[in-house]
Amino acid sequence: MPELPEVETIKNDLLPLISGQIIKAVEIYWPGTLRNASVETFSGEVVGRTIAGSKRRGKYLVFPLDNGKSIAVHLKMSGSLLFIPKGESLSASHVRAMFVFDDGSRLAFRDIRKFGGIWLLEKNSGFLDKLGPEPLENNFTPQIFQNILKGRDIPIKALLLDQVAIAGIGNMYADEALFEAGIKPGEKAGGLREDEAGKLYSAILNVLKKGIKSGGASVSTYQRPDGSKGLSHRDFRVARRRDQQCLECKTPLEYTKVRGRGTIYCPHCQK
């Protein structure tokens, strides 16, 4: 599933390509892609509108329109957004929706497993208010992180994946941050010492920033809007490295499940 670095990369890539574009038409090939509006309602609200930017909230992409409404997209397990310049064709299959722009370019929503979705958000919609703080924004401080951990009797890995607690972190970058901080994924969140919480806070920021700098991780179906792949996975030390050795100490990495989520860690480095 695309996580914060992947979604942030897509947001940044699309910003200069679609800002100011007028939506000439919308083609919906699978109506289930639209989560809160019919094809007719969605098309009626967005066709003729100008896209006013490209934003991210957690793992959601948000495209504000000039009428105050917004289009929100969640890629889930296998979704991607592909930009097709004017005059070029798209060979990809599993396209569920297509936005056609006034200049002849297009934006395709591709989703192999049909888990992703598109929402039409009203002005001042509270749809995304349920999400926790953004870990890369200035208001996510060490003290805020301490407060999130306080009293939480759940595994730290589970808390990092809780989008209501912190927005945007997913399975891969949670494993990477816990490895960098030297913390076992099953440790109770509320039981971390202050110094451990401080190390994990710094590790979260570090792995997310590195992921964005490398354009995200292309470990499955993720690709950038131009079809290219991200390189973040090349730096992974535990994530997606099941049945391999720790790069630091050569100890075999261990695989377990934390609250149903596959988790990889080093039993020697994460004590």
Indicate if 88 belongs to the active site: no
The string of DSSP letters for 53-118 reads --EEETTEEEEEBTTS-EEEEE-TTTEEEEEE-TT-----S-EEEEEEETTS-EEEEEESSS--EE
Residue 220's pLDDT is 85
Average pLDDT, the chain: 97
Average pLDDT over every residue of 26-32: 97
E strand or H helix at 181: helix 171-181
Task: Identify the CA nearest to 178 among candidates 250, 49, 271, 39.
Answer: 271
Average pLDDT over every residue of 159-178: 98
User: CB neighbours (10 Å) of residue 218?
Assistant: 18
Residue 1's pLDDT is 80
Catalytically annotated residue among 55, 76, 209, 261: 261
What domains can you pick out in the chain, each with its CATH number?
4-121 (3.20.190.10), 142-265 (1.10.8.50)
Residue 224's pLDDT is 97
Catalytically annotated residue among 11, 59, 224, 241: 59
Average pLDDT over every residue of 183-191: 98
Residue reference for tokens 């930017």:
53
d(CA 2, CA 19) in angstroms, rounded, equals 22
Whether 92 has a pLDDT exceeding 90, the answer reads: no
Q: Are 207 and 4 in contact (CB under 8 A)?
A: no
Indicate if 3 belongs to the active site: yes
d(CA 140, CA 173) in angstroms, rounded, equals 17
Residue 91's pLDDT is 82
Average pLDDT over every residue of 100-127: 96
Residue reference for tokens 């690709």:
223
Classify 235 as helix, strand or coil: helix
Indicate if 2 belongs to the active site: yes
Indicate if 240 belongs to the active site: no
Average pLDDT over every residue of 12-27: 98
Average pLDDT over every residue of 64-73: 97
